[in-house]
Amino acid sequence: METTLIILKPDAVQRRLVGTIIGRFEQKGLQVVGMKLMKISPDLAARHYQDHSSKPFYPALVKFMTSQPVVVMALSGVGAIAICRNLMGATFGSKAAAGTIRGDYGISNSFNLVHGSDGPEAAQRELGLFFSPGEIHSYPMAGDTWVYDASSGKPE
């Protein structure tokens, strides 16, 4: 099992797409193990986007991400990081394929609805920024036997 960070950005919240987007992740078979509505502080945004601090779009990105509340989630599942990134689609809504979250609901290159960790190290770092110990939960899901084929002894 892998756990990843997902942020439903201010545009997703303002457009009332929160339930729709969460549903896309859950319908795929991913498990919500942590979730909260919050307003990102400038300090937290700076730490989260530190790798982009020298890029020209950085000030606008921080301004956007701190402008309105967001929903942060920890999602778990086998291969959760890659699955989430595939569900989200290409970074720019105008280039994202139909059937993806950004392809179905986004058109802007700046307002792209959702953030997802891009690898295991990023997921661990990002989850630590947005969730305190005890805020991410592990619990069995009765339906997992219908999500994962575990006939080989481990879920695949």
**Residue 58 resides in a domain:** no
**Residue 6 resides in a domain:** yes
**Residue 21 resides in a domain:** yes
Residue 19 has pLDDT above 90, yes or no: yes
Percent of the chain clearing pLDDT 90 (strictly above): 87
Q: Where are the alpha helices (DSSP H) in the chain?
A: 10-14, 18-28, 42-48, 58-65, 80-88, 101-105, 120-130, 144-147
Q: Number of folded domains in the chain?
A: 1
Lowest mean pLDDT among 72-81, 114-123, 146-155: 146-155
Number of H helices, E strands in the chain: 8, 4
pLDDT on residue 143: 86
Mean pLDDT of the chain: 95
Residue 116: give its domain's CATH number: 3.30.70.141
137 carries an active-site annotation: no
**Residue 49 resides in a domain:** no
pLDDT on residue 151: 80
**Residue 32 resides in a domain:** yes
Which is the catalytic residue, given 48, 52, 115, 137? 115
Q: How far apart are CA 120 and CA 84, in angstroms?
A: 12
Condensed to tens digits (0 to 9), the pLDDT of residues 46-103 reads 999 999 999 999 999 999 999 999 999 999 999 999 999 999 999 999 999 999 999 9
Residue-range definition of the domain harbouring residue 115: 2-38+66-137
**Residue 73 resides in a domain:** yes
